[in-house]
Amino acid sequence: MTESPDRVPKERISIELKRLPWAKDLSETALREFAEVGEWVQYQAGDYVHRAEEPMKFVYFIVSGRLQATLFDSLGNQILEKSLVRGSVFGLFSVAIADQSRTNVVATEASSVIRLELQTMLKIVAKHADLQMCVYRLAAGIVKQIIEVDRTLSQPSVVGMVHQSEASRPLTRQLLTRLQQIESHPCVATDDPQWRPIDGVPSRVIFKNGELFTAQQSGELLKEWSQFGRIFIDLRGNHSLEHLARMFSYVDAVLWCVRPDDAKTAIGTLRALQERVAGLKSKVRLVWLLDNQTQVAPHEPEQRQLVERDFKVSFESPSKQQSRLLQQGIERIIHYLRGIQIGLALGGGAARGMAHLGVLKALEQNGIVIDMLAGTSAGAMTGTVYASGMDADYAVECFKTDLSLPWAYRQMPGGGYWYLLRKYRKNKFDPMLRKYLGQARLEQLAIPMLTVTVDLVEGVQVVRGTGDATHAILESINLPVLSNPRVSSGRALVDGGLVNNIPADVLVENGCNFVLASSVTAQLEQDFMDIRSARTTPKFKLFSALQVLMRGQLVQAFNMNAIGVEPADFVIESDVSAFDLSEFSRADEMAIAGAEAANESAAKLKQLLSQLDPKLFPPS
């Protein structure tokens, strides 16, 4: 603890209270009395705010920074872990329990809280009906989070925008303009002397005569703007480390905007700031500004140590062979600011997985922006290619061309399966995919992509979110018998469909709070090798071992659909049961079936999204 409560002016406590979302509707009288009795306490990273073996004496209202709360059961087993950020509260329930609290709370970065003793809080709450209602809402929010009814993620209310060059300055305007459409009163403090005001968006230039506002001036501005819902602090990245560190102390999150040419400089600045700003990584989101020639972000090995996640954005219109993923990057940032992350799980199903490309195209055309993809087997292949920025229609044509049967295989019974066997055994998938992906890594793609495979050594699923994108696909589509396991780092990796054919659960585990699933195995044709469709039952039928194997995989996927897909909020089921598992030559027809299924579901899907955030997804 670095500061005693009585050293902080009560006026500052009142100002900081006004900036908290839950306190915005409090009367001036309630705010003033809360500030009078509240104690301001600051913690450094690593400080214990509360230990599990001690009784809970206070209720804590988090003003800035980040705390980590860990709950234990009566036997000392950890049962819950949660980050607490600005606007969170803890101790609201534990403080009323006579027994000792079983919660550890540790500051993971420099943090400030307002704390009240139980009796003090009860007295002030009893006096003010509006404060009483706020406390009830806070308690209800805690209950919602525990039972997973409330899915909203944290929504940073003070956002830093750092521009490594002037090229990314338009992003601030676009974000503010979009937020103005769905929120009330965003505002911006900027060091841009050329800033052109936006109607309805209060702004202040805070860089004059070569100097930024002082700490006192910044504090006065935050006080003046305490009633606004979202504050942006917009700066160039070439300010002193002292000024940038001070900006970090004010904000909940930082969008650090870079072009590929600026990456080394940005990483160097962030590395230097890491020594000054505790918990820097948890606040920073890198925003890559890309163009049509640079569809894939650079690979910066240090990035994952310095940055929580990234976004890829482009101001240019896509070329004919490119999707709109980069142009949608701005909307993904809006999703993040609104506490939304939409994931789409793509299931396995051999050639039938081509229907996923139709689903992806239809979602794009319906204005449904996906923040993260996860795929198994064919879902990993189609999803990764799409996540690289390739247009879905163009990808369909590429797969159709690359996997169409040569003349000799078209003359053979089950020729499609023998052709796939050859592609696997001769390692032909690698060069085929590298024509489009090159040496790109998963973390460089336009949106996050997770692939699922299975390790035969430990018998567990392996989820890839980093590393060579082509290798990640090859691991996930690696059907046993058709191909040998891919051995790497003590693992023997095969097709992920063995344990998780539609990995919606993987998206939930990675922070998505609304999950879609695209299934191509929900419907299974009730025939195999024309056994039922034949006019007479043959006395003997020669089954191809490959056809039996692929049918077995399909039956397994059909029966496992409910496992990984269970957490999905919405499932799009494409009826591609009329297509053979090896018919990649009909990829365009399957994509049409996927698009039809997605378009038929679009209205209902939008209705569900409007329940999640009616401002971001207004009901039609």
Q: Give catalytic residues, as residue numbers.
A: 377, 495
Q: How many other CB atoms sit within 10 Å of the CB of residue 488?
A: 13
In whole angstroms, give the CA distance from residue 338 to residue 617.
Answer: 11
Distance between CA 150 and CA 211 in Å, rounded?
Answer: 44
Torsion sign (Cα): 610, 616, 617, 620: positive
- For residues 210, 214, 220 and 222, what is the CA-based torsion angle, rounded to 10 degrees? 80
One-letter-per-residue 3-state SS of 91-140 = CCCHHHCCCCCCEEEEECCCEEEEEEEHHHHHHHHHHCHHHHHHHHHHHH
CB 491 within 8 A of CB 505: no
Both tokens of residue 500?
């998780």
Residue 210 and residue 371: Cα distance in Å, rounded? Answer: 39
Query: Alpha carbon 449 to chain centroid distance?
Result: 10
Q: Which two tokens stand for residue 191?
A: 């060091």
Look up tokens 């482009």; give the residue.
Answer: 314
Half-sphere exposure (CA, 13 Å, Cβ side) for 62? Answer: 26
Query: Of 38, 219, 222, 57, which Cα lies nearest the Cα of 131?
Result: 38
Question: 293: Cβ–Cβ under 8 A, 6 or more apart, which residues?
Answer: none
Helix axes 545-564, 415-425, angle to 10 degrees: 80
Beta-bridge partners for 376:
452
The span from the CA of 286 to the CA of 164, in Å, is 11
What φ, ψ does residue 608 adopt, rounded to 5°?
A: -65, -45
| Distance separating alpha carbons of residues 379 and 476, to the nearest angstrom | 9
| CA dist 8 → 27, 87, 94, 246, 540 (Å) | 22, 19, 27, 18, 89
CA distance linking residue 495 with residue 376, whole number of Å: 8
Number of Cβ within 10 Å of residue 241's Cβ equals: 13
CA 329 to chain centre: 12
> Helices 392-402 and 378-387, interaxial angle, to 10°?
130
Do the Cβ atoms of 594 and 574 come closer than 8 Å? yes
Which pair of structure tokens corresponds to residue 590?
């399957």
| DSSP for 135-169, written as a single string | HHHHHHHHHHHHTT---PPP--SEEEEEESSGGGH
